[in-house]
């Protein structure tokens, strides 16, 4: 019989996590996440936390999306709203216009005809510049106007009976994959 060894959890010090100040100075993944009228403050907080984990440039909060400081966002962000840069826009189209002026290619995460499957998306297809990814409302998804204005749409393959994922779960999946491609 083989003896089991203890699998000790790493301490924060062992994981070499950045301080908020060091995070702000660190080189960022050339990726911005845009929230198109995301209503749940817990989902917004979760997106902040993922944005921090992948060292993204910014979160753009649009329309009805709540902004920090906000206790409900803080519950799931756990302070990431303090480290990750964010900006509010009255409309998602306003955010897209600004990002395009800054050289970003914009992709919406949405199920549309001719979408790109996330596992097949490569850096070559995204080009050499920075990328923005739009995630939509929990019920209605990314608005059609924003889909139409996007450079393309990304779809997460799914195999069950449900046709969508929670927006914060979708964000984690997409941001991980894009970070792999962009870093």
For the domain made up of 27-182, give the CATH fold: Alpha/beta knot (3.40.1280)
- List pLDDT tens digits, range 79-96: 999 999 999 999 999 999
Residue 1: the pLDDT is: 65
pLDDT band with cut points at 50, 70 and 90 for residue 12: confident
* pLDDT tens by residue, 34-77: 999 999 999 999 999 999 999 999 999 999 999 999 999 999 99
Domain boundaries, the chain: 27-182
CA atoms of 60 and 72, how far apart (whole Å)? 18
The pLDDT of residue 82 is 96
Edge-first strand listing for the sheet containing 116-117: 86-89, 56-62, 29-36, 131-136, 105-109, 152-155, 116-117
> Alpha-carbon distance 154 to 156, whole Å?
7
The SS3 of residue 133 is strand
| Of residues 3 and 172, more confidently modeled | 172
């Amino acid at each position: 019989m083989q003896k089991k060894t203890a699998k000790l959890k790493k301490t924060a010090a062992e994981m070499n996590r950045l301080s908020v100040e060091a995070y702000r100075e660190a080189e960022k993944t050339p990726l911005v996440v845009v929230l198109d009228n995301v209503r749940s403050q817990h989902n917004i907080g979760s997106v902040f936390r993922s944005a921090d984990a992948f060292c993204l440039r910014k979160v753009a909060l649009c329309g009805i999306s709540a902004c920090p400081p906000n206790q409900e966002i803080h519950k799931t962000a756990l302070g990431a709203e303090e480290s990750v840069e964010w900006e509010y826009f009255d409309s998602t189209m306003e955010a897209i216009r600004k990002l395009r002026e800054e050289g970003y290619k914009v992709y919406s995460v949405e199920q549309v005809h001719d979408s790109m499957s996330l596992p097949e998306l490569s850096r070559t297809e995204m080009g050499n510049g920075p990328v923005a990814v739009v995630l939509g409302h929990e019920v209605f998804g990314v608005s059609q106007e924003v889909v139409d204005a996007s450079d393309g749409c990304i779809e997460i393959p799914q195999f069950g009976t449900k046709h969508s994922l929670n927006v914060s779960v979708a964000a984690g999946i997409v941001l991980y994959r894009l970070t792999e491609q962009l870093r």
